[in-house]
């Protein structure tokens, strides 16, 4: 083999050029060959993060898909002014797009409570933060939370990723006294109200970042969802919330996917909508529970006037006959079930 | 076979563990020792990754050592290391996602780790592939040992935990013990490394 001068200029330039091209091809090949497997992993990871906010933690990779499909019922993407983006998939919305689009997941928590999950984004000390907060459909209470980070300090800021930190949020109220979102993170030990959650000691800026993300992030969702008083869009979550509000004009909700009838609407089918019957403005002519309970049908007087139910037994257990002695038995004080006794 | 584990080769493997330790004797790779040792687990992950990457980049550079133009050798070494780290992190992302999430922060730190460049320049450029590979493993483990020692003390004294599990009993906290918040700061790992170097030199008189 002829001796090549490895120090000549030509050799050096050729060597560098070939090396760069080879490495570029190698990296491009590896990247494109592994992309599908990586994307699948990223999707599963995102799903398990959403599940963590619903208090489903520690699932094996193979269980995530099934659990996700079981718990997530509907998703929609809202614009900042509360319009539903047609044909958009909430799951496809990337973290960096939050702010232009608001993906909302309607789901059940681990113990079966209805929840809305809001993806959030924020900034920590070194890089981005993101998280998922599950709240009750009336936006008043936190059901669960999950936070993650790009590059916070291990052992300090990175602790926001731990379940121990996140579980502090369960059961906290979202709103302050002024009706604005007040849920935030404060220095450990400095919390004065229920909406102030203890931060991580030694990670002040990361904790502040999480607090800021919650304050502004959730408020944006509340605004996009109309805070309850705005005309409803088509989004099911909005509708469900609106139905619970007496001051909400139900005409605006006809188009919405309020599954159990559209309360207050004359066409409302109360047979399938117990909630509707409980509402005062619901015309009872359309309900099947029309006649008042007659005396004698129930053991207690107090039950008189309550709506008679189809079977006649429900109204007797309506909880109104809890007066002691209403059924003549001793020890029945406050015991609704005893009213069923004759 | 006996050639593979000859005395010289074994020294390439075991020397860096003690008398030629990359951290406490050569004082290389200190920056990453600061960054990842607040807890034990990332310290071990980082130690393992550096071991694997050092071994294989040593091997590759040693294989092509005679063809590398002298004037751009550092760049060639850097390209090899960077490509290797990128490929490994891509493969992990596809097949061991959880590990890759843990490692993602350290990828940059591995590429710029002085131990890698140091070993490539000092050993792999002038030795055959097999000894170079052993040298890479030895240096990686030598580095990992120090990281684990520092991580052990920082997590134990800083947070009262090991691998995230509480080891200091609540009883101690009830009687006035407090975690040393200083230990979670990067500066304390320098001081611990200093103490380790002190102990190591006190024991090995010929290093003094």
Backbone angles phi, psi at B166, to 5 degrees: -65, 125
pLDDT band at B148 (very low <50, low <70, confident <90, very high): very high
B42 touches chain A (CB under 8 A): yes
- Quote the Cα angle for A292-A297-A301, to 5°: 75
To 5 degrees, how large is the angle CA A303–CA A304–CA A305?
110
B/e letters for B11-30, b = 16+ CB within 10 Å, e = fewer, are bbbebbbbebbbbbbbebbb
Distance CA A78, CA A259 (A): 20
Name the residue with tokens 């139905």.
A243
Give residues with Cβ within 8 angstroms of A184, minimum separation 6: A195, A196, A197, A211, A212, A214, A215
Tokens of A257: 């996917």
Q: pLDDT tens digit string along B164-183?
A: 788 888 888 888 888 887 88
**Strands of A194-285, DSSP E:** 196-198
Which pLDDT does position A289 carry in this prediction? Answer: 45
Of B35, B95, B164, the CB nearest to A37: B95
Task: Say what the pLDDT of residue A25 is.
Answer: 95
Please give the share of chain B, as a percent, with pLDDT higher than 90: 22
Residue B179 is predicted with a pLDDT of 84
pLDDT at A318: 43
> How many residues in chain B?
208
Q: What is the pLDDT of residues B83-129, one digit of tens each?
A: 998 888 888 888 888 777 777 777 777 888 888 888 898 888 888 99
Tell me the ipTM for this assembly: 0.75
Residue B45 confidence (pLDDT): 83
**Is the separation of the CB atoms in A160 and A206 below 8 Å?**
yes
Closest approach of chain A CAs to the CA of B2, in angstroms?
Answer: 31
Model confidence at B136, in pLDDT bands (50, 70, 90)? very high
Smallest CA–CA distance, residue B66 to chain A, in Å, is 8
Q: What is the pLDDT of residue A2?
A: 59
- Structural domain boundaries of chain B? 23-197
Looking at residue A140, what is its pLDDT? 86
Q: What sign for the dihedral angle of Cα A295, A299, A303, A308?
A: negative
| Optimal mutation site among B153, B184, B189, interface A, most CBs of chain A within 10 A | B184
pLDDT at A331: 44
10-residue stretch averages of pLDDT, chain A, 342 residues long: 76 92 94 91 90 88 87 86 80 84 88 89 90 89 91 82 89 86 87 88 89 90 66 41 44 38 42 41 39 48 44 41 43 45 41
**Inter-chain touch B83–A23, beta carbons under 8 Å:** yes
pLDDT average, residue stretch B48-71: 90
User: For A333, which DSSP code?
Assistant: T
Domain boundaries, chain A: 1-245
Check B105 against A151: CB less than 8 A apart.
yes
CB contact under 8 A, B184 and A15: no
With CA atoms as reference, the chain B residue closest to A164 would be B164
For residue B1, the model assigns a pLDDT of 53
Q: Does A251 touch chain B (CB under 8 A)?
A: no
Q: Count of CB contacts below 8 A, A vs B?
A: 76
Contact A38 B83 (CB under 8 A): no
């Amino acid at each position: 083999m002829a001796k090549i001068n490895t120090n000549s200029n030509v050799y050096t330039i050729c060597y560098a050029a070939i090396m760069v091209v080879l490495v570029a091809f190698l990296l491009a090949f590896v990247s494109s060959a592994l992309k599908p497997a990586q994307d699948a992993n990223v999707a599963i990871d995102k799903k398990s993060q959403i599940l963590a906010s619903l208090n489903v933690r520690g699932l094996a990779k193979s269980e995530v898909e099934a659990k996700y499909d079981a718990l997530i019922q509907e998703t929609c993407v809202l614009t900042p002014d509360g319009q539903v983006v047609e044909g958009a998939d909430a799951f496809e919305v990337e973290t960096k797009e939050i702010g232009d689009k608001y993906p909302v997941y309607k789901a059940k928590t681990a113990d079966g409570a209805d929840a809305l999950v809001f993806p959030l984004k924020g900034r920590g000390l070194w890089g981005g933060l993101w998280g998922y907060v599950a709240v009750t459909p009336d936006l008043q209470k936190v059901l669960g939370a999950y936070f993650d980070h790009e590059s916070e300090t291990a052992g300090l800021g990175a602790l926001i990723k731990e379940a121990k930190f996140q579980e502090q949020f369960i059961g906290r109220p979202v709103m302050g006294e002024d009706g604005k979102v007040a849920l935030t993170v404060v220095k450990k030990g400095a919390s004065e109200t229920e909406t102030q959650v203890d931060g991580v000691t030694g990670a002040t800026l990361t904790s502040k970042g999480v607090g800021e993300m919650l304050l502004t992030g959730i408020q944006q969702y509340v605004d996009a969802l109309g805070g309850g008083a705005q005309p409803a869009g088509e989004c099911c979550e909005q509708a469900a919330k609106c139905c619970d509000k007496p001051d909400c004009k139900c005409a605006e909700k006809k188009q919405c996917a309020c599954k159990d009838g559209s309360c207050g609407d004359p066409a409302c089918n109360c047979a399938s909508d117990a909630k509707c019957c409980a509402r005062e403005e619901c015309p009872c002519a359309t309900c099947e529970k029309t006649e008042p309970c007659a005396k004698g049908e129930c053991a207690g007087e107090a039950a008189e006037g309550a709506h008679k139910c189809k079977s006649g037994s429900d109204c007797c257990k309506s909880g109104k006959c809890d007066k002691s002695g209403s059924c003549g038995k001793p020890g029945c004080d406050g015991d609704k079930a005893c009213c069923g006794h004759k | 076979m006996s050639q593979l584990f000859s005395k010289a080769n074994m020294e390439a493997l075991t020397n860096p563990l003690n008398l030629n330790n990359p951290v406490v004797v050569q004082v290389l790779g200190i920056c990453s020792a600061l960054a990842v040792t607040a807890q034990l687990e990332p310290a071990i992950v980082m130690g393992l990754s550096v071991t694997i990457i050092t071994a294989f980049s040593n091997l590759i550079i040693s294989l092509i050592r005679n063809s590398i133009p002298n004037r751009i050798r550092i760049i060639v070494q850097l390209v090899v290391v960077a490509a290797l780290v990128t490929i490994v992190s891509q493969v992990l992302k596809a097949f061991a996602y959880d590990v890759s999430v843990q490692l993602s922060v350290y990828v940059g730190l591995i590429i710029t780790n002085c131990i890698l460049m140091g070993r490539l320049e000092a050993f792999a450029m002038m030795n055959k592939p097999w000894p170079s590979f052993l040298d890479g493993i030895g240096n990686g483990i030598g580095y990992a040992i120090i990281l684990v020692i520092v991580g052990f003390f920082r997590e134990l004294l800083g947070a009262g935990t090991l691998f995230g599990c509480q080891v200091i009993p609540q009883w101690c906290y009830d009687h006035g013990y407090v975690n040393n918040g200083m230990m979670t700061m990067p500066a304390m790992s320098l001081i611990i490394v200093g103490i380790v170097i002190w102990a190591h030199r006190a024991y090995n008189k010929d290093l003094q």
